[in-house]
Amino acid sequence: MKRKTVIKTSFFPASKEIIFSHLKELKTLQYVAAPMATFSPLTGAENIVWQKNHDFVFRFKLFGFLPFGVHKIHVVEFDETTYEIYTNETNTHVKVWNHRIILKSTEGGRTQYTDQVEIYAGWKTPFVYLWAEYFYEHRQKRWITLLQHSTKQEV
């Protein structure tokens, strides 16, 4: 079975700077992933700061209640000047989950946001790919909701 790549793009109602400030926080990942997936740090610390060349380990649950093993995230790139984010991830059931987030400014203070995810899970790859297609669509909708509420609070 070959690797498969999920690519999802949306336009977010905020600048790259605002989006990146949210991306720094674990609670953003937890919010946009819920209820399709939950990430609980094995260390118990909720104040994780994403940093280049650091590893983070989570208890991962599908739909918030089905244990899906330990999920490891190695941060390859997390650059606030270029707005580049790239992680190599793996878990008990998925050997490869390489995630790139691409932010591009657009007119009107909006941002084109793209999730690009390379997946390999052996014979499970097609099933994981289908779940990931829906998951990243869900995440981007949750992102838009988060940013709309953030914008309302900042005004």
Is pLDDT above 80 for 78?
yes
Strands lying side by side in the sheet with 66-79? 4-12, 111-120, 96-105, 84-91, 66-79, 55-62, 37-41
- Note down the domain range covering 24: 4-154
Residue-by-residue DSSP string for 111-136: EEEEEEEEEE-GGGHHHHHHHHHHHH
Per residue in 96-129, pLDDT tens? 999 999 999 999 999 999 999 999 999 999 999 9
pLDDT digits (tens, 9 = 90+) for 15-46: 999 999 999 999 999 999 999 999 999 987 77
In sequence order, what DSSP letters do the residues of 41-60 get, joined into one string? ETT--S--B--TT-EEEEEE
Q: Count how many domains the chain has.
A: 1
The predicted structure's pLDDT at residue 44: 73
How much is the CA Rg of the chain, to the nearest whole Å? 15
CA gap 69, 71 in Å, rounded? 6
Helix (H) or strand (E) holding 143: helix 125-154
Instruction: Please answer whether residues 141 and 20 qualify as being in contact, where contact means their C-beta atoms are separated by less than 8 angstroms.
Output: no
Query: What pLDDT, on a 0 to 100 scale, did the predictor assign at position 151?
Result: 58
Instruction: Extract the tokens encoding 128.
Output: 């994981």
- pLDDT averaged over every residue in the chain: 94
Number of residues written out for the chain: 155
Q: Looking at residue 54, which CATH number applies to its domain? A: 3.30.530.20
> Tokens 């793009």 label which residue?
9
